[in-house]
Amino acid sequence: MMEQHKEKMCNFCGETCEIVGDSTGEIKENSGLIDANVSGGYGSTPGNGNGTLDDCTKYTFSLCEWCLDWLFEQFKTPPTTSDYMSPDEAAEPYIPAVERVTLDSWRVKKKKFFDERRRRMIKRHETTKY
Ligand SMILES: [Zn+2]
């Protein structure tokens, strides 16, 4: 039985995690980190323990590809990459999407990319509460 598609929203930018999965625009799929979970432990509890997540609490969230790539750019150590279609071959090291789009001539929807990137950047900054 085919699972019913349900649009997921990114907890960071508040926008959709949904991308169009085919050239007709009919097939839509969620992409990014969808319904990720992390839990705090006894030693985590902020203010009493040594971390930031409360004990016995599971946190569930989703991050769109735009926000994931933005986070990857902030990492001191970039994420490792691998080619899941050819596991024996070495993959290209991580390069931020903005650099790949800028440098690769075969990536032809540059304006669309930069417009969406800018829109998500603005959305992320609006979510700052403190
Ligand atoms: Zn996002």
pLDDT digits (tens, 9 = 90+) for 65-108: 999 999 999 999 999 998 888 878 778 899 999 999 999 999 99
Residue 61: CB atoms within 10 A of its CB come to 15
CA distance 83 to 73: 20
- Full-model pTM: 0.86
Q: Cα(103) to centroid of ligand 1, in Å?
A: 24
Q: Cα(67) to centroid of ligand 1, in Å?
A: 4
Tokens 């959709």 correspond to 16
